[in-house]
Structure formats: C-alpha cells, structure tokens
C-alpha cells in the first residue's frame, strides 16, 4: 500500500477489544494518512498490526522456559544467547518495577541484557509496555518509522512484550527495524552437509503483508535479492542472493562453516532484513587422509570416518596427532558435531570459559544435553584432558544407554583401580562395545584419553545409534 505524503497523522493505537473477534490486538506507533484514517473503521485498522510482518498468537507458556534470544541492532550491536526465563521484572522509564509471572518476550530480553550488562528503556502506555531503547540505540534513531520489535519463531506477537508469553525451545529475536521496509528472513539450504569442492545454495525469502485501501491484508512470500551471506563473526562476504533469493556458496574447507545473512540499504543505513542468527554447515571431505597414522591401524578407520564427515580435522601439516591427549573442550566440539544436530548453545556459564572462547557454544551444548558437566568450583577446565573412565561416563551419557549391573565387574586385571562412581559407566561402555581394553587385558582407567581413542569410541557410539 502506497501512503500519500500529504496530511500525515502520527497515532499511538491502544489495546482494542474487537466486537468482531473478541480478541485484543496490540499496535505500535504507525503513520497513517489523515484522509484515509478518517474513512476507515478503527476495528479494521487495528487488525493491520504491521505493514510487513504477519502476526500470530503466542501460546500460553509454562512458568519456566529456556529459549534462544538474539538482539540485532545497528553498527555491530548483536547478541545471541540461550537464556532461562522465569518470573522476571523490569523497570520502566517512570521508575515502576513490573513483575511478569510467566516467561515473556520482555523477560527473555531483560535476562539477556542483564547477563551482557547492557542497558534498556521500557515505556509503559495504555496498551502495555514496549522497548524504546537498547544500549544507545533508541527508537526513531534512523527515521520516524524505526524502533525495536520482537519476533517469536519468525512471527511478530500480537501482544505487548510484557504479556507475550514464550515456551521452551522458542527463538526470540529483538531487532531494530523500519516497519515500512524491514522483513524477517526465512532461510533454506540445499544441504547443510556438503563436501569439499562442491557448492550448495542458500535461499532467502520473507513473508510480506500488504493492505489495500479497505485495509484487507494480503500475505505473500517474496524472494530477497542482494542479501549478503557472510562468514559468521567476520566481515568476509561469501555471496549475494540473486533475484530468486538464491546464493551459491563453494565449500572450500572441511569442518564447521558458520554463516549469517543480512541486508542493509547502503544509502540510509536502514536494515532491509533482520540479520539471521548463526547458520551452521558441516563440510565433509570424502578424500580425507593423514600422514601420521602409522601404527594406529586399530583407530585409522574411525579417525577417517569422522574426518570425512567434517567432525574432526587435522592439526596442520596434514597430521592428526593421534597420540595427543584430547582436551575437554575438543571433546565437546566432537560430541556436538557427531550428534548431527547443528544447533548449538545453552545456559551453562563457567568462570574459566570466556565469551570469546571458540568452544563456548559447544561446551554449553554438551552441558545442556547432559553429556558433560563442570565441577563444584564453577569451572569446566576446557584445556585439561580427561581420563578413560571419565570418557566412559561421557560416552554412556552421549549414547543414552542404561547403566549395566555393576555386580559383575569388567574383566580387566586392573578393574579394582576403576573409581566407584565410574564403575557402572565403564562396565556399560565395555558391555555395549563402546570401549575396550588393551593387549595386556588392562583398561587403564586413570590414563588420559588420546585423540585416537576418542575417535574410535565416538564412532562406536555413532554405529550404535545408526548415525
């Protein structure tokens, strides 16, 4: 709908109980041409809650929720975390402290901002509360149509942020946008597991809602042209989408490739697309080989199995370093990638895992899934190795197997050296074929697990799980 430039009227529309539907609808500040506004029924206008973004009701939530939250601003303002949201309070601009009894989009935002030590301003008006400023970025900074909005699983709630409820597993995105221009992206990959030397495609679309002069909505899916595909956390642009919304990416290196997609009007700085979160692609190498596997015939096939899937990569000079002890951080990445679910993150926080630690999201993932944990001191010890009996614990948890009866101990000559807490896990790992002893019939429970041993054990689990 094209809006004439004469006779603009700024309106703040409040909660309205529609006599047609019996539902309450929320609208943020919009601009309507005075002549059109005077001719239209207020109820019809209230149904048009966004020029661009279709809206949906938010289902009732439980008292607690663990959700992914993204804050997408301008000039590098970007935060992405998994947070746990419960009963949360916020202070509005007049100093009132408002407590939300259920997990809400506002609660998710406030929880993340508190963790990141970022400030915000929340304004409370007749229709509810909304965010007017995050950090230094306030509404109307770019133009009169710009401000903060929220999406839950790609849809804009039809309630104010302090009452729009969320549930476990939701993705909550707070983005700075221009309501007349900015769209929320939908991304589809031709594959997320390409091989080195091949190409894959990314298609970017968005739902767009337009209105005729009678305010009748039409929702259509549009292709996003000239959206930029970047390597995550870098300025490296890999490709632009074409008129069909498709970008072609060449898989050049094995391992995890992380991307994000955005589009901004270079002249005005207005985002045309809300930046995506981190998009993960696992690049395999069917021709993977290493120079230093002589003497490791028992582990070679497993090492190459993981390398060909992109789960593990070499350590430089085409070496794998099979004898080297695997670190706890390295193991988290292997577990996260071998699991097959390329969604990473969690709420765990450790004193010795900094925000810029490249393994942080993998550590959070395996802790969230219950495969590994930190210690009582609140540390994870990411650079430390782990013993073979500790590895047995991790493998059994990763596989989801029930623990074996510990009355019959493992048939190793050093079985008495297995720690009491590890005995059921070691026996289960042995009984189910996840781990084995050595030629001397010992298990060496206190020995540090090597990269070769871990690769072999992980493949044993994957075979057990048919992955």
**Per-residue pLDDT of the chain in tens (467 residues, 90 and over written 9):** 433 333 322 233 333 333 333 323 333 333 333 333 333 333 333 333 333 434 444 444 579 999 999 999 998 889 999 999 999 999 999 999 999 999 999 999 999 999 999 999 999 998 899 999 999 999 999 999 999 999 999 999 989 999 999 999 999 999 999 999 999 999 999 999 999 999 999 999 999 988 899 999 999 999 999 999 999 978 789 999 999 999 999 999 999 999 999 999 999 999 999 999 999 999 999 999 999 999 999 999 999 999 999 999 988 889 999 999 999 999 999 999 999 999 999 999 999 999 999 999 999 999 999 999 999 999 999 999 999 999 999 999 999 999 988 777 788 999 999 999 999 999 999 999 999 998 899 999 999 999 999 999 999 999 998 87
**Closest to 452 in 3D by CA, of 245, 299, 260, 255:** 299
> Rounded to whole angstroms, what are the CA distances from 200 to 121, 204, 218, 307, 359?
42, 13, 32, 20, 26
Tell me how far CA of residue 441 lies from CA of 246, 411, 414, 450, in angstroms.
Answer: 57, 8, 8, 18
Helices (H), 324-450: 328-338, 360-368, 388-399, 423-431
Q: What is the pLDDT of residue 327?
A: 98
Tokens linked to 206: 């968005």
Q: Which two tokens stand for residue 284?
A: 């395999």
Q: Cα separation of 60 and 365, whole Å?
A: 26
Distance between CA atoms of residues 304 and 443, nearest Å: 24
CA dist 215 and 427 (Å) reads 68
Q: 376: burial class by Cβ within 10 Å (0-12, 13-18, 19+)?
A: exposed
pLDDT given for residue 34 in this prediction: 32
Count CB-CB contacts under 10 A for residue 70: 21
pTM over 0.75: yes
Checking 244-248 for CB contacts under 8 A at 24+ apart, the result is 244/203, 245/203, 245/204, 245/205, 246/201, 246/202, 246/203, 246/204, 247/201, 247/202, 247/204, 248/199, 248/200, 248/201
pLDDT number for residue 317: 85
Tokens 């935002």 sit at which residue?
Answer: 109
* Domains parsed from the chain with CATH numbers: 8-47 (no CATH), 185-283 (2.60.40), 297-465 (no CATH)
pLDDT in tens, 147-196: 999 999 999 998 999 999 999 999 999 999 999 999 999 999 999 999 99
Burial class for 321, CB neighbours closer than 10 Å (0-12, 13-18, 19+): middle
Residue 97 in contact with residue 138, Cβ under 8 Å?
no
């Amino acid at each position: 709908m094209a809006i004439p430039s004469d006779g603009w009227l700024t309106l703040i529309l409040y909660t309205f109980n529609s006599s047609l539907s019996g539902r309450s609808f929320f609208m943020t500040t919009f601009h309507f041409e005075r002549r059109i506004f005077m001719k239209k029924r207020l109820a019809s206008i209230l149904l048009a809650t966004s020029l661009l973004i279709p809206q949906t009701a938010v289902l009732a939530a439980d008292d607690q929720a663990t959700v992914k939250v993204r804050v997408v601003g301008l000039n590098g303002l970007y935060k992405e975390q998994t947070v746990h949201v419960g009963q949360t309070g916020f202070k509005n601009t007049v100093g009132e402290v408002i407590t939300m009894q259920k997990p809400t989009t506002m609660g998710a935002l406030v929880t993340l901002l508190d963790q990141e030590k970022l400030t915000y301003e929340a304004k409370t008006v007749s229709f509810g509360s909304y965010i007017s400023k995050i950090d230094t970025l306030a509404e109307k900074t770019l133009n009169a149509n710009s401000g903060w909005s929220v999406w839950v699983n790609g849809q804009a709630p039809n309630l104010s942020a302090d009452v729009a409820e969320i549930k476990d597993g939701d993705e909550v995105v707070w983005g700075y946008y221009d309501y007349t221009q900015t769209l929320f992206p939908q991304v589809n990959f031709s594959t997320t597991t390409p091989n080195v030397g091949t190409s894959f495609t990314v298609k970017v679309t968005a739902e767009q809602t337009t209105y005729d002069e009678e305010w009748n909505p039409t929702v259509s899916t549009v292709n996003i042209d000239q959206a930029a595909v970047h390597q995550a956390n870098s300025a490296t642009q890999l490709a632009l989408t074409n008129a069909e919304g498709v970008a072609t990416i060449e898989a050049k290196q094995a391992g995890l490739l992380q991307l994000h997609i955005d589009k901004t009007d270079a002249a005005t700085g207005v985002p045309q697309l809300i930046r995506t979160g981190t998009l993960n692609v696992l690049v395999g190498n069917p021709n993977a080989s290493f120079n230093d596997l002589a003497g490791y015939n028992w582990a070679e096939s497993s090492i190459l199995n993981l390398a060909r899937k992109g789960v593990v990569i070499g350590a430089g000079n085409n070496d794998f370093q099979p004898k080297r002890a695997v670190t706890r951080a390295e193991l988290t990445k292997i577990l996260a990638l071998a699991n097959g679910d390329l969604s990473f993150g969690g709420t765990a926080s450790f004193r010795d895992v900094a925000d810029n630690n490249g393994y942080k999201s993998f550590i959070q993932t395996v802790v969230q899934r219950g495969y590994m944990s930190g210690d009582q001191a609140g540390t994870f010890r990411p650079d430390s190795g782990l013993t073979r009996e500790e590895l047995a614990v991790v493998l059994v948890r990763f596989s989801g197997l029930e623990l074996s009866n510990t009355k019959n101990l493992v048939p190793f000559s050093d079985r008495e050296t297995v720690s009491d807490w590890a005995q059921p896990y070691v026996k289960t790992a042995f009984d189910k074929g996840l781990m084995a002893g050595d030629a001397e019939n010992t298990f060496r429970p206190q020995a540090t697990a090597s990269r070769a041993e871990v690769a072999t054990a992980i493949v044993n689990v994957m075979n057990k799980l048919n992955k």
